[in-house]
Amino acid sequence: MIENDDRELYLEIDDDFKHIQFFDVDVDYPDHFGDLTNGIRVSVFDNKERVAYLECIAFHDEKIAESIYDHIHLSDSMTQDVYDAMVLLKEQSLLVPTSENQTLGELLTNYPTAIIYLHHIAVKDEYRRQGIGDWLMRNLPRILQRNYKTFPRLIITLLSPQKINWSFSPPSFSDPEEEIGENTEMYGLMKRLLEKNGYEQQGDSRYFIADGNI
């Protein structure tokens, strides 16, 4: 629950594996650490209305080392922005954990570590500037630790404002008809949100990275 003025906002957390039927005696419930990734979705509700949404992908470090370090092997379902993010991390020697890029939080927990690709974060227009997006960004590492026993070694995201259709469940995202430039209000708002929460822009790209201690 998030307390926001006079409202009580509630979280709903979902992921790819919760949709798999596992009651069949011939089918084992999947171990999410057995796969390379797990898609995780966090929704914020005001009563029954979804007012904010965050979607991320957890790349489990032990599987990254086995599967994509040498050749960035990604499934066909991965989008170009995710692929480019993995390439960027590989070029910076951040794709796999080392003693040099471990964070303090990692050293203090026994949880498996993961790279988190923050795919979408959105807040409805009338709920913006109330601290909801900031709360989601600030608490994402704790949501992952508490619900998935996973420590985010680092979080990477692409700053790319999109059109949002809130009538779908979960919301759908699409590129705007016109390119959103750096001077638009939404771009600036998202950039300030990222920087406020410890994300650093990577060169002249639109990728931002934060470590798991944010």
Distance between CA atoms of residues 145 and 25, nearest Å: 30
Q: Which helix (H) or strand (E) holds 146?
A: helix 132-148
134: containing domain: 2-211
Query: Which residues lie across from 153 on neighbouring strands?
Result: none
What is the gyration radius of the CA atoms in the chain, in angstroms? 17
pLDDT score for 195: 94
Give the CATH number of the domain where residue 117 resides: 3.40.630.30
- CA 138, 115, 156: angle at the middle one, nearest 5? 60
Domains identified in the chain, total number = 1
What does the pLDDT look like over 98-150, one tens digit per residue? Answer: 766 666 556 566 778 889 999 999 999 999 888 999 999 999 999 998 888 88
What does the pLDDT look like over 7-65, one tens digit per residue? Answer: 688 899 988 876 544 444 444 444 444 566 788 999 999 988 999 999 999 988 877 76
Position with higher pLDDT, 185 vs 76: 185
pTM of the model: 0.82
